[in-house]
Amino acid sequence: MTEIRTDWTRAEIAALFDLPFTDLLFRAAEMHRAHHRAGEVQLCTLLSIKTGGCPEDCGYCSQSVKAQSGVEATKLMDVQQVLQRAAQAKDAGSQRFCMGAAWRNPKDRDMPAIVEIVKGVGAMGLETCMTLGMLTPRQAEMLAEAGLDYYNHNIDSSPEYYERVISTRTFEDRLETLGHVRAAGIAVCSGGIVGMGETRADRVGFVHALATLPRHPESVPVNALVPVKGTVLGDMLADTPLAKIDDIEFVRTVAAARITMPRSMVRLSAGRESMSEATQALCFLAGANSIFTGDTLLTAPNAGDDADGALFAKLGLVPLQAAEPMREAAPLVALQATEDVL
């Protein structure tokens, strides 16, 4: 097994990005096969359990109250409605059920319902993941006690570019919540979005920030921006379409994440609906081993089950045959960023 490093430098990661493309893919594929079963991809479903009305100003998000996207705010879904959707997802072949609520942070009054949802979905044999915004230590403990497998809280971009996308909470706030999640013993799901107008140096910084955490996230979603009209970034890219990340650069980002975080599930997330089959195939070769199925991701379009089934058949891929290890006992320490990350 390859040594798991958390001491990557930005220069080392930049050198990975600079490799000839075929050399980079070869290294990523080797790393993937050293730690995961080749040809197996985990199928996940993402459900918005509370949509819109978020007070944050994330420039990519159609659910922000700052956006003019037409997304209407809803209340938290009824527990039984969520469980019904989870059962449908399992029947459709999903192995992991992810739930997102458009909150800055959950209120304590919301936690009993959230706990019941986690317990109910977990009882179906599905891997559970939630993204609810920032958490207090006690809220993280409640989710752990309910049996939550993963908590998603993305760092979004590099520390330097982050403040150009979001102003209502800081990069350090993100790390603090990840620390609460880790201390509670829940597996961490944290990644980000590329194609927001950032430079390659920012993509290097994004991977570096995750790869130098004291313990790598067990799950690393890599999203390509889905530009939504009425959001800051959606409108910006409509005016400057050349700012969109090209497919080869996106694959390079996936490969760098795989090489630097060998044991993580690298999740090919938002943006797949606009990717060619060839680009998706390159992402799988570069080490992506999880996708979201279905027609939507929260409020954004997704490739759809039929398209995914056809692609898997064409590429000879199969759903993950057995669940990856879930949560492990974690030391009660908060995440600390290295000096050059912050």
DSSP string over 40-58? EEEEEEEEEEE-S-B----
- φ and ψ at 162, to 5 degrees? -50, -45
DSSP string over 214-247? SS--SEEEEEE----TTSHHHHHHHH-GGGSPPH
Tokens matching residue 189: 């799901």
| CA–CA dist 149, 143 (Å, integer) | 9
pLDDT computed for residue 149 by the predictor: 97
User: How far from chain centre, in Å, is Cα 308?
Assistant: 19
| CA–CA dist 260, 316 (Å, integer) | 26
Residue 30 has pLDDT above 50, yes or no: yes
pLDDT tens digits along 241-268 = 555 789 999 999 999 999 999 999 999 9
pLDDT higher at 55 or 130? 130
pLDDT computed for residue 302 by the predictor: 47
The residue ranges of every structural domain in the chain are 10-306
pLDDT tens digits along 121-164 = 999 999 999 999 999 999 999 999 999 999 999 999 999 999 99
Write down the mean pLDDT value for the chain: 86
| CA–CA dist 93, 100 (Å, integer) | 20
Helix (H) or strand (E) holding 208: helix 200-211
Task: Quote the pTM value.
Answer: 0.87
Residues serving a catalytic function are 54, 58, 61, 98, 129, 189, 267
- φ and ψ at 98, to 5 degrees? -105, 140
| CA–CA dist 37, 320 (Å, integer) | 9
Class of domain 10-306: alpha beta
